[in-house]
């Protein structure tokens, strides 16, 4: 098997055809404890990161938003409140268990009825070109097998003037923080996974997938290659997380 037939799954090399199923199995396993684990892993700071993404998205009333890798719907719910009844939010995920958990959460919260749901692969989106004002992917791009395809699809479905945003774990900008972050990721995260989610292996994968994700400059270059203009990134928490933003002109 050639290198072109393989890709990374954390630190492992696996056949390209297997990665999607392996990622799906990870999120099937963690879906029920996903929100609790997010709060524990980030000490609740993920809510501030998502708030910053909302600010940078610049979404307005009446617009149409696609939230990829939506998980349990944190971003979708906030966008729904902003675009209002005259707008639309499409909450999308490749994982059926995560999407169902998100739908239940929206029902429980009685979110305004302007959310639709789509089980979709970010590499081949089932939407027309030039059909959304904003598309976001929060903590999902690192799990995509062919990131360049997903970015190109995000650019394709945007209307001219539309914005694409990627919220993702990234590379800390200071060496001391990087060392502390590594120690936390490979010691504490699997422990939390074992104690809370009863699944240390999935959280070991999540830590490894973060390390395999492109750094800030590389991801900005990938967005430019996908056709986005005015690409920029914003480091949060010392670069532990970054938000990348590009515009379709």
What pLDDT was estimated at residue 132?
Answer: 98
- Tokens (6 digits) for 58: 């610049």
CATH class of 3-20+44-170+214-247: alpha beta
pLDDT at 36 (0 to 100): 72
Q: Which of 198, 172, 174, 167 is nearest to 185 (CA)?
A: 172
pLDDT at 243: 98
Please report, to the nearest 10 degrees, the dihedral formed by the alpha carbons of residues 83, 165, 160, 79 taken in order: -10
pLDDT of the residue at 4:
57
Residue stretches of the annotated binding site for S-adenosyl-L-methionine: 72, 93, 121-122
Tokens of 173: 């900008």
Q: What is the full per-residue pLDDT of the chain (249 aa) written as tens digits?
A: 445 588 877 778 888 878 878 777 767 766 676 677 777 778 889 999 999 999 999 999 999 999 999 988 999 999 999 999 999 999 999 999 889 988 888 887 777 789 999 999 999 999 999 999 999 999 999 999 999 999 999 999 999 999 999 999 999 999 889 889 888 888 887 787 788 767 778 778 888 888 889 999 999 999 999 999 999 999 999 999 999 999 999
What are the extents of the domains in the chain? 3-20+44-170+214-247
To the nearest 10 degrees (0 to 180), the angle between helices 74-83 and 96-108 is 50
Q: State the pLDDT at residue 2.
A: 46
Q: What is the per-residue pLDDT for 173?
A: 92
pTM greater than 0.85: yes
- Annotated binding-site residue numbers: 72, 93, 121-122
Q: What pLDDT does 1 receive?
A: 44
**Three-state secondary structure readout of the chain:** CCHHHEEEECCEEEEHHHHHHHHHHHHHHHHHHHHHHHHHHHCCCHHHHHHHHHHHHCCCCCCEEEEECCCCCHHHHHHHHHHCCCCEEEEEECCHHHHHHHHHHHHHCCCCCCEEEEECCCCCCCCCCCCEEEEEEECCHHHCCCHHHHHHHHHHHEEEEEEEEEEEECCCCCHHHHHHHHHHHHHHHHHHHHHHHCCHHHHHHHHHHHHHCCCHHHHHHHHHHCCCEEEEEEEEHHHCEEEEEEECC
> Sheet of 115-119: strands edge to edge?
115-119, 88-93, 64-68, 132-138, 158-169, 241-247, 229-236
């Amino acid at each position: 098997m050639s290198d072109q037939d393989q890709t990374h799954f954390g630190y492992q090399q696996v056949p390209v055809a297997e990665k999607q199923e392996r990622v799906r199995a990870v999120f099937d396993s963690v879906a029920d404890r996903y929100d609790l684990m997010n709060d524990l892993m980030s000490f609740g700071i993920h809510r501030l990161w998502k708030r910053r993404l909302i600010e940078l998205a610049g979404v307005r009333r009446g617009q149409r938003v696609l939230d990829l890798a939506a998980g349990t719907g944190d971003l979708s719910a906030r966008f729904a409140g902003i675009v209002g009844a005259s707008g639309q939010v499409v909450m999308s995920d490749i994982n059926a268990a995560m999407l169902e958990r998100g739908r239940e959460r929206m029902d429980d919260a009685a979110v305004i009825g302007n959310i639709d749901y789509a089980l979709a692969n970010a590499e081949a989106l089932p939407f027309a070109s030039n059909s959304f004002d904003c598309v976001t992917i929060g903590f999902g791009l690192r799990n995509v097998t062919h990131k360049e395809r997903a970015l190109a699809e995000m650019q394709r479905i945007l209307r001219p003037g539309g914005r694409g945003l990627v919220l993702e774990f990234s590379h800390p900008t200071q060496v001391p923080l990087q060392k502390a972050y590594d120690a936390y990721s490979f010691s504490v995260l699997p422990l939390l996974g074992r104690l809370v989610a009863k699944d240390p292996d999935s959280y070991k994968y999540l830590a490894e997938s973060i390390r395999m994700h492109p750094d800030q400059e590389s991801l900005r270059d990938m967005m430019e290659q996908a056709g986005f203009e005015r690409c920029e990134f914003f480091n949060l928490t010392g670069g532990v997380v970054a938000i990348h933003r590009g515009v379709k002109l």
